[in-house]
Amino acid sequence: MTMLARTALAAGLSLLGLVPALAQTKAPLTILRVIDADRYDPVRSTATSASEVLFMLADTLVSLDFDMKTVKPLLAKSWTASADGRTYTFDLRQDVKFCDGRPMTAEDVVYSLKRWIDPATRSPVASRAGKVKDIRATDDHTVVYELQEPFSDLLYQLTQSFGSVVDKNTVEKLGQNFGVQGFNATGPYCWVSWTPRQDLVLKKNPHYNWGPPIYKNPKPEIDQIIWKVVPEANTLMAAMQARQADITYYPPLFSIDTMQRVPGLKVQQQKDYIYDVFFAFRVNKPVSSDPAIRRAANMAVNKDAIVKAIYFGRGTPLHSLLSPTVLDYDAKAAAMMPAFDPAGAAKVLDEAGWTPGPDGIRVKDGQKATFVVYGIRDDQNPRISEAMQADLRKVGIDMRIQLWDATVAWGKLATQEFDAFMLSYPYGTATEALNLYFKSTQAPTPNRMNWKDEKTDQLIDAAATATDPAKRKEANAETQRLLTAANVWIPLVTRQMWVVSGDRVEGVRPHGLYGAGLYKGLDLSLKR
């Protein structure tokens, strides 16, 4: 058949409506974000930008409900814990398949979880798995997770992307390039391609029908999803308004009011979201090791003003070490947190022997009250740090700011060069937050403060291994009081999660586990 005849036939069939499928193809769902991840290997990347995609690409044994507290089934239909809290037995679904169609078995789960804790993997998040004695498959659909000591946070940690079940064959084939050049797991969406710092393309997993019960529809409805990186706030906002994208949960905070007024855009907030911004002192450096400096700095910083001016009111000032909504939050510890009081801060410094020098900066024993803070250069950090700098200068403390691009910041934050740092982190329980940042075994990262205190270690261990919730709560409370009194951190703001979606997409509901606003990406559908 000649080219002309083929074209004429195709045009005729189109006109007769015999090829409607072509006409009905919907454009992919486009999600905008501001930053990309370094890789998408669940056990090697700790970035939120990795987790938010990994939740769609892979599944975990258990899932987390929208309340950010309740653990629900996912790959495991059910589970039991032994009375001593050391052994968990998971009964797996038997209908799960990888993207390449291979059925998932208990051996795949064991392989993935062991890879997480294997020292050879050098996972920065291995400690989140607890002190594992053994993980084994007793049959094709039963996994036994045995611990050396009880770990009260285990189920919550198993909801995180770090415990994702991945395909052993693909991991071994790609080696270090797993999650860079390809991926294979049992998530609702499958890996198509990744162009770093530009976009990541996913397609529907055709086998998937085992979504967690927190969703109405266990199957994905979207054929293709494109995660697009748009680092510049104004461009991102304009793209949403022009309908060049469907969803973002990285709207610039100043734009929330505007977005709410734009017809066709839906703006939703996740009320149970916990993602705190904090400022931390390195306690083994000359100036920041002085408790008086740390206390005075805590009193000098006006958190309310920061939230109002820099977060445009779209944040919550953090007047306690941990968010008041978190499990095991301690109100007594919060009451110990110094309130904003610049005059009181100056008095604390006077009493500690820090006297104002000729340039207004305080001096003690020939040492100037100067320190260097490191942080990531994002939308808020430059402004927060400058506001803090101005507040601290008023009481005679000179804070020098060094902010780094996200690509080099993590490397810089792993050095011993700085005296203080600013970061933000998502967490779900007090045990998780305290265990992550304050245990001496977590130094030098993520315990970049180098806070090494025997009492703190004992309390954190007591909370982590408690089988009685009351004992866990008490241990966590005491740790919060101890750390609040030492002013190791200046807690600043609890961020808010705002999800903006266009009128082409339906079923958007903010989640927020580890900062992932869309979690599994289920219940989403496109109107056109």
Q: How far is the CB of 303 from another protein (least distance, A)?
A: 11
Binders of another protein: how many residues, by CB under 8 A?
Answer: 32
**310 touching another protein, by CB under 8 A:** yes
The residue whose two tokens read 């904090």 is: 278
121 binds another protein, rule: CB under 8 A: no
Distance of alpha carbon 297 from alpha carbon 301, whole angstroms: 6
Helix (H, G, I), strand (E, B) or coil at 90: strand
Residue 197 burial (10 A CB sphere; 0-12, 13-18, 19+): exposed
Please tell me whether residue 6 adopts helix, strand or coil conformation: helix
Tell me whether residue 254 or residue 410 sits nearer to another protein (CB atom).
Answer: 254
Among 221, 289, 316, 404, binds another protein (CB under 8 A): 404
| Segment interacting with another protein, rule: CB under 8 A, options 61-69, 201-209, 384-392, 518-526 | 384-392
Closer residue to another protein, CB minimum distance, 92 or 422: 422
- Using CB under 8 A, which of the segments 210-218, 350-358, 394-402, 492-500 binds another protein? 394-402
Q: How far apart are CA 407 and CA 410, in angstroms?
A: 7
Closest distance between another protein and the C-beta of residue 319, in Å? 17
410: its two tokens = 């993590």
**DSSP code per residue over 243-290:** TS-SEES---GGGHHHHHHSTT-EEEEETT--EEEEEEE-TTSTTTT-
Locate 241 and state its tokens: 């308004």
368 binds another protein (CB under 8 A): no
For residues 493 and 182, the answer to whether their CB atoms sit within 8 Å is no
User: Which of residues 168, 308, 319, 347 is near another protein by CB under 8 A?
Assistant: 308
Which of the stretches 88-96, 262-270, 304-312, 363-371 binds another protein when contact is defined by CB under 8 A? 304-312
HSE-up (13 A, CA, CB side) for residue 228: 19
Question: According to CB under 8 A, which one of 272, 386, 457, 461 is a site residue for another protein?
Answer: 386
**Residues between 47 and 66 with contacts to another protein, criterion CB under 8 A:** none
List 237, 297, 422, 423, residue binding another protein (CB under 8 A)? 237
Please report, in angstroms and rounded to a whole number, the separation of the first and last CA atoms in the chain: 35
Q: Is 259 in the site for another protein (CB under 8 A)?
A: no
**Closer to another protein by Cβ: residue 107 or 232:** 232
The single-letter code of the amino acid at 445 is: T
Q: Which stretch binds another protein (CB under 8 A): 99-107, 230-238, 280-288, 456-464?
A: 230-238
Which one of 93, 219, 319, 393 is in contact with another protein (CB under 8 A)? 393
Binding segment (CB under 8 A) for another protein, from list 146-154, 249-257, 267-275, 498-506: 249-257
Going 289 to 295 to 298 to 300, the CA torsion angle's sign is negative
**Using the rule CB under 8 A, is 516 a contact of another protein?**
no
Instruction: Select the residue interacting with another protein from 114, 383, 452, 471 (CB under 8 A).
Output: 383
**If residue 404 lies in a helix (H) or strand (E), which one and from where to where?**
strand 398-404
Residue 408 parent element (H or E):
helix 406-412
Q: Is 248 in the site for another protein (CB under 8 A)?
A: no
Query: Rounded to whole angstroms, how far apart are CA atoms 273 and 66?
Result: 9
Contact window for another protein (CB under 8 A) among 125-133, 254-262, 343-351, 503-511: 254-262
Of 50, 59, 55, 98, give the one whose Cα is nearest residue 194.
Answer: 50
Q: Which is nearer to another protein, 236 or 513 (CB)?
A: 236
Omega within 30 of 0 (cis) for the link into 444: yes
Q: Which residues bind another protein (CB under 8 A)?
A: 232-234, 237, 252, 254-255, 258, 302, 305-306, 308-310, 377, 379, 382-383, 385-387, 389-390, 393, 400-405, 408, 412
